[in-house]
Chain A
């Protein structure tokens, strides 16, 4: 709001004062929200780091096992075992609320399976297939966990960014401009009052002569 758009009237002053009070209240609230979100973010950050590193190690392990299985069983053997697996891991998305941010909560149903539940024959395959399958099941578990945490992180970060922007806009743009306008109106009103007084005195001096 440029200063020349401000009309130096009393009602304008009152409404400006109201707006300043409102902005300051909002600013305080948003600042608290931002701090709360960052606190929440720090909680998640530790978990995210852990799950990430666990995910990486599990992935490496799974790839290694896969290579071994491929070497021992041959690609066809592994493939045939893979195609006979019929237990599908199902995931369920529910949402929870962290300070107004809706984050998903992912629940998985039965990723880990026993040897008998995998679908391929126990006799026809070697134990290396079982090892590979179980390490990949571990991996999928880790993926599900880290998917939840990373999504939460993403959402929190987004919210932090927008809240921060709002806080800064209020602190450095909205509130200073409003107070500047208020001071301008105050000054103008005082000035007008002085002018009026002076005018009255002049008139009085002229009439009394």
Chain B
């Protein structure tokens, strides 16, 4: 399985240096959505890495899907996002905000 990265050219360049092949850039929000959908349906991708700023541009519905997705696991880098979504989930299922 592989790791996929979506982001602007600067973001993906570093991952290319680390040897990751599946890197995607996008021009518009629509392109972003279709790229994400393509990756979600790709059985060969185990982890999807995104920038949290790009994550905010994704429609809310797809964001939820990404957050819940286990295969591939979606990791958002930078910003609070990654912690936040998990924080919300903890609050919801345990009832106490334990993420601090």
Contacts and interface: CB of A to CB of B under 8 A. Distances in A.
A-side interface size class: 35 or more
Given A90-B2, A143-B77, 17 more contacts: A45-B98, A49-B99, A52-B83, A60-B78, A63-B14, A78-B17, A86-B19, A87-B19, A106-B46, A139-B14, A143-B3, A144-B3, A148-B73, A154-B68, A154-B70, A155-B70, A158-B93
A38 B94 contact: yes
Given A87-B19, A132-B14, A160 B94 contact: yes
B53 interface: no
B60 interface: no
B10 A70 contact: yes
B65 interface: no
Contacts, number: 122
Contact of B73 (A48, A133, A151, A157): A151
A5 interface: no
B49 interface: yes
B-side interface size class: 20 to 34
Given A48-B86, A143-B75, A90 B1 contact: yes
Among B10, B14, B17, B68: residue with most chain A CB under 10 A: B17
B92 interface: yes
Given A88-B2, A91-B1, A111 B18 contact: yes
Interface of B: 1-3, 10, 13-21, 46-47, 49, 68, 70-71, 73, 75, 77-78, 82-83, 86, 89-90, 92-94, 98-99
A104 B47 CA distance: 12
A91 B49 CA distance: 14
A157 B89 contact: yes
B77 A59 contact: yes
Contact of B13 (A82, A89, A93, A106): A82
Interface in A104-132: 104, 106, 111, 113, 118, 129, 132
A85 B16 contact: yes
A136 B75 contact: no
Contacts of A92: 1
